[in-house]
Amino acid sequence: MRATKRKFVAIASATLVAVSGTISLNSASAATTPSFCPKFTGTLTVLSTVILEKPDGLVEQEIADKFMKACPKTQIKFIGVPANDLVTKLTAMAIGGNVPDMYASDAVNTVKMAALNIPLELRAALGQDYIDGFAKENIGEMTIGGKIYSAPWFSIPTAILYRTDLFAKAGVKPPKTFEEFITVCKALTKDTDGDGKIDQYGWAMVGTDNGSGQGRFNTIARNMGAVDVGKNSAGKWVTEIDSPGWKAALKLYKDAVDVGCVPPGQFQTGYPEASVQIGKGQAAMMITGPHTIGVALTANPAAKGKLAGAPIPSLSGVPATTSLNQSGYAIARKSKHRSAAIAYMKFLLNKENQLRINDVTYRIPSRLDAQADPQVNSEMSLGFVKAGEGKVFSNPQIPWYNSIAILSSPAYQAAIKGDKSIDQIAKEQAEKARKIIADNG
């Protein structure tokens, strides 16, 4: 059982002032200045993806407000950017020379930004004792050649999020293999009110042509035994996009749509829409991370206690593999406010605030002290915690990886449309991947 009761941030209590895509947070002065407050007087700019999400962004705002109340001389100004646009936005900022003091960073853009010499090395900035407080797997993904370029905030291991009540009514259990997946998906697809129309589907598929869809597909493909790019026994970069495993992942998407166990409009169904489908019981399972729980419960608080996680399925004979899908913050090397950025980063990552973001969003903390708290192992998120403790795949630390990763979404959309054979789709995308490897590898 959880040690604390989850509380949701009331949207009405948030003070969001949006101007030209930015969110500014103001604070009242404090009578006593805590020792953690920076001496800096002015505004710290922070590029955030979380700030635009609900309920997640409301918690990030709450933490920033708390910091500014304690440290009234230092203001936090958020620049919001959708997660799927982060790499593009950050690359443009880097080229333009206007990178904020702090910016959201994941395992993919950490490598890209490091190649551009944008981030501050954090081992020296934060101190080794502080670095030792991160979970080894989390800090490892942000480490390149022994140098740390991003401080992990949380992870969202990929697994199955499912409605326990709908599974119980259908008399099925979460599929352990992809051979079972379509069978379970069909069993969960129903006309629940007898009006002759399907109103409950098996799989809330994220079928959009963006990072949300690409990441989920690539994780499924890895659990079919195929990686989009990796090194062979000779140490050379190769792709398995035209392998049987990658084709099997394409077939899974096509088959699920063809048998009717996916809600209509899958090309327009992104992460937010699919999360709402789970919350409202319009779909019974989703390939996703624990952060979806917070979104689902915001859409339908009555779903509390009816959600759970289970390991992602795999092809028979292929060990189940997850991705941490973590996010954190980096500090710009050229920032003139490094000390203030370090102070805010440590405040954001203290145990109290790590548990606060977990309490509302179910994202798994990166710091060992927070991970050890009983709250993190809640009934609804325990399956994701266990997934993160299993076999974890980390994306290759190459600045051009995203050019390979994005090849999946046109492929699964084409497979669903059915205008080309799966063999032809895989062949075309593999040729593109091999050209990218030849140009960069």
pLDDT, tens digit, for every residue of 40-53?
999 999 999 999 99
Considering all CA atoms of the chain, what is the largest pairwise distance in Å, rounded to the nearest integer? 69
What mean pLDDT comes out for the span 48-67?
A: 96
| Mean of per-residue pLDDT scores for the chain | 91
Q: For residue 169, name the pLDDT band (cuts at 50, 70, 90).
A: very high
Cα 133 → chain centroid: 22
Beta bridge partners of 203: 285
Contact 67, 360 (CB under 8 A): no
Name the superfamily (CATH) of residues 159-323+393-440: Periplasmic binding protein-like II (3.40.190.10)
**Strands (DSSP E) found in 222-295:** 230-231, 237-238, 283-288
Over residues 263-286, the mean pLDDT reads 97
pLDDT-based confidence at residue 308 (cuts at 50, 70, 90): very high
Q: Check pLDDT > 90 for residue 5.
A: no
Per the CB < 8 A criterion, the answer to whether 137 and 324 are in contact is yes
Q: Which residue has the tokens 């990166």?
A: 366
Mean pLDDT over 303-309 rounds to 96
Within 10 A of 209 (CB to CB), how many other CB atoms are there? 16
Residue 26 has pLDDT above 50, yes or no: no
pLDDT of residue 388: 85
Task: Write out pLDDT tens, residues 290-299.
Answer: 999 999 999 9
Span 217-262, pLDDT tens digits: 999 999 999 999 999 999 999 999 999 999 999 999 999 999 999 9
Number of Cβ atoms within 10 Å of the Cβ of 132: 10
Is the separation of the CB atoms in 49 and 349 below 8 Å? no
Tally the residues of the chain: 441
The answer, yes or no, to whether residue 270 has pLDDT greater than 60, is: yes
pTM: 0.86
As a whole number of angstroms, the distance between CA 191 and CA 15 comes to 42
3-state secondary structure of 399: coil
Residue 341 has which token pair? 């950025």
Distance CA 95, CA 6 (A): 42
Tell me: domain 11-155+326-383, CATH 3.40.190.10, correct? Answer: yes
Give CATH 3.40.190.10 domain extents, the chain. Answer: 11-155+326-383, 159-323+393-440
pLDDT tens-digit series, residues 368-416? 999 999 999 887 888 898 888 888 999 999 999 999 999 999 999 999 9
Looking at the predicted structure, is the pLDDT value of residue 8 above 80?
Answer: no
Beta strands in 249-306 (DSSP E): 283-288
Q: Cα separation of 164 and 308, whole Å? A: 7
